């Protein structure tokens, strides 16, 4: 083993920018501060290099925590070619886009009282039931614009919803023609609203309808990169997509707070993904452990600053 790169002490200055702070963390290079600085380098390369198809995975309750705006901005700037999300994040994106809000609350509360006050809690974020009333009205109206007896894919359904919104992730994706895949859309309020509408209408959503489109993207990619916020279905859907091709991902950044030793995908290391061929042997990868509401904005602010 060699000891040839010293840890440099960080000195904080009043005029420091985020980029200069990340640079200081890079020169220290230790623990998750060092991993975060490497995530900035890898994401920056992935965003800037021509010929890279950039996949973005969005899991966890990120939109309720205010992170959805960053995703929209990345799509607007051309840094996301494919988005894979949980249905919950897209539900909350619609709620914000129709003029409802998530509210700052507290985790030190009486949840039975919140239930009686018709307030739903996501850790320290509150969402009143009235938002879901507005959401239902919007969804039922939007679904009514799809011709009866239609058979559509999940991504086409999401593009249709986005085309009826003026802001947010779905709206930006629809305008920029960026595909959004949501393989577990049934596991969301969007899924429940579709089920409700289908009781009296004949629209069919083809659960496998997106696979051809996804595989076409994978086979046509010169190189592929993945930025994964959280794990779950979006992470696996993205990583497994390259298995049918002759290559894996050349770049991968993962933000997670989960442990690898419990066997769950959300905590699985990107090195483990190499054993499956999902990530190339010589791929540039990093996992940053911590709260994504801290690490995600810092990484993207530093990338944009550079």
* Mean pLDDT, residues 150-175 taken together: 98
Is the pLDDT at 69 greater than 90? The verdict is yes
Instruction: Choose the catalytic residue: 48, 149, 176, 278.
Output: 278
Strands annotated E in the chain? 52-58, 82-85, 103-104, 119-122, 125-128, 151-153, 180-181, 204-206, 223-229, 249-256, 279-289
Which of the two residues, 1 and 229, has the higher pLDDT score?
229
DSSP letters of 236-290?
HHHHHGGGGSS--EEEEEEEE---GGG--GGG--HHHHHHHTSEEEEEEEEEEES
38-74 as b/e: b if 16+ CB within 10 A:
bbbbbbbebbeeeebbbbbbbbbbbbbbebbebbbeb
Is the pLDDT at 306 greater than 90? The verdict is no
Reduced to 3 states, what is the DSSP secondary structure of residue 184?
A: coil
What's the rounded Cα separation, in Å, for the pair 272 and 289?
16
Phi-psi label, residue 225: left if phi above 0, alpha if psi -120 to 50, beta otherwise: beta
Average pLDDT score over the chain: 97
Q: Residue 74 has what pLDDT?
A: 98
Name the pLDDT band for 156 (thresholds 50, 70, 90). Answer: very high
Reduced to 3 states, what is the DSSP secondary structure of residue 46?
A: helix
For residue 147, give the DSSP letter: P
Is the pLDDT at 204 greater than 90? The verdict is yes
What are the CA-CA distances from residue 175 to residues 68, 220, 280, 295 (Å)?
Answer: 16, 22, 33, 28
Q: Residue 259 has what pLDDT?
A: 94
Mark whether 278 is an active-site residue.
yes
Least reliable range by pLDDT among 118-122, 126-130, 165-169, 261-265? 261-265
pLDDT digits (tens, 9 = 90+) for 263-301: 999 999 999 999 999 999 999 999 999 999 999 999 999
Instruction: Give the gyration radius of the chain's Cα atoms.
Output: 20
Q: Residue 127 has what pLDDT?
A: 98
Q: Which two tokens stand for residue 290?
A: 């911590």
For residue 85, give the DSSP letter: E
Model confidence, pTM? 0.96
For residue 120, give the DSSP letter: E
In the beta sheet, which residues pair with residue 58? Answer: 85, 229
């Amino acid at each position: 083993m060699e000891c040839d790169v010293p840890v440099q002490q960080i000195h904080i200055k009043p005029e420091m920018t985020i980029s200069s702070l990340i640079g200081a963390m890079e020169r220290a290079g230790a623990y998750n501060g060092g991993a975060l600085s490497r995530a900035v380098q890898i994401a920056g390369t992935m965003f800037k290099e021509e010929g890279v198809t950039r996949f973005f995975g969005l899991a966890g309750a990120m939109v309720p925590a205010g992170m959805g705006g960053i995703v929209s901005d990345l799509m607007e700037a051309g840094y996301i070619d494919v988005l894979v999300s949980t249905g919950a994040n897209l539900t909350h994106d619609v709620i914000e886009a129709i003029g409802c809000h998530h509210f700052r609350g507290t985790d030190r509360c009486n949840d039975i009282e919140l239930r009686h006050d018709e307030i739903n809690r996501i850790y320290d974020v509150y969402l009143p039931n009235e938002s879901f009333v507005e959401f239902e009205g919007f969804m039922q109206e939007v679904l009514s614009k799809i011709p009866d007896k239609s058979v559509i894919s999940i991504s086409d359904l999401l593009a249709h919803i986005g085309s009826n919104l003026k802001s947010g992730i779905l709206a930006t994706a629809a305008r920029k023609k960026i595909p959004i895949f949501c393989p577990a859309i049934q596991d969301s309020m969007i899924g429940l609203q579709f089920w409700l509408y289908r009781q009296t209408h004949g629209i069919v959503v083809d659960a496998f309808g997106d696979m051809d489109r996804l595989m076409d993207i994978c086979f046509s990619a010169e190189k592929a990169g993945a930025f994964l916020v959280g794990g779950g279905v979006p992470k696996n859907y993205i990583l497994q997509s390259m298995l049918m091709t002759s290559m894996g991902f050349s770049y991968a950044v993962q933000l997670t707070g989960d442990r690898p030793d419990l066997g769950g995908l959300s905590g699985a290391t990107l090195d483990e993904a190499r054993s499956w061929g999902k990530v190339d042997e010589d791929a540039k990868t990093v996992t940053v452990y911590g709260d994504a509401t801290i690490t995600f904005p810092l990484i993207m602010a530093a990338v944009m600053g550079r």
